[in-house]
A = this chain, B = another copy of it.
């Protein structure tokens, strides 16, 4: 009898519908309008029902974060592939950076939920669910590390570059730029998106410059 399979499929379907609704609300109304009751309204179930599928709002948010991670990873990959196979690895690295920035600018709600929310609350306890998100994160990260290593072997960047460390610092630079821009703290310096994108390019220049230069600091 396939009834229990059908039941399980239906259960999974509703679970997905909840995550979809959550992600739509996040995109449309941002974190402000993101509430369990609003999700319930949208899927036309009672708020209590959501608690049969997710144990808390935070749990549901984590599911959305995983979805966001997937998208971010995709955008970066697509941007790298769009750069083409014939370009240098260094250029592909730049492309990955542009992908990160583009994702942040075009999915600000996702971006904030991914990078602002997890903040400092945990540290112990809920490591497993966090790690799940991190794993997806790492897929993109490893790809960037790979292309950086390739750029070293191609001779664009210096041979002894600590590629993992370099990847983190480059990531942080772009992340900081985009965070400051989105929170309005670059209003005086780069008010428009165009000006901001120029700033991003100059930052990528700087990063490349630093990776290229032989190490002999102070």
Contacts of A209 in B (CB 8 A): 209-210, 213, 215, 217
For A9-34 the 0/1 string (1 means CB < 8 A from B) is 00000000000000000000010100
Residues on B with C-beta less than 8 A from A179 are: 115, 172, 175-176, 179
Q: Known contacts being A134-B187, A175-B180, A176-B175, is A202 close to B169, with CB within 8 Å?
A: yes
The digit string for A186-210, where 1 denotes a CB below 8 A from any CB of B, is 1111100000000100110111111
Contact of A176 among B171, B182, B189 (CB under 8 A): B171
Is the Cβ of B184 less than 8 Å from the Cβ of A176? Answer: no
Q: Note all chain B residues with C-beta closer than 8 A to A102.
A: none
CB pair B112 A119 closer than 8 Å: yes
Q: How many copies does the complex hold?
A: 2
- Number of residues from A at the complex interface, CB < 8 A: 52
Q: Which of A117, A180, A206 has the most CB of B within 10 A?
A: A206
Partner of A180, one of B121, B171, B182, B217: B171
Give A35-54 interface residues, CB cut-off 8 Å to B: none
Does A106 sit at the interface, judged by CB under 8 A? no
5 A-B pairs whose Cβ atoms sit less than 8 Å apart in the complex: A120-B184, A122-B184, A173-B176, A208-B217, A209-B215
Q: A116-B183, A168-B177, A169-B199 are in contact. List 13 more A-B contacts (CB 8 A).
A: A30-B120, A115-B183, A115-B185, A118-B184, A119-B182, A134-B188, A168-B186, A172-B176, A175-B176, A175-B180, A208-B218, A209-B213, A210-B213
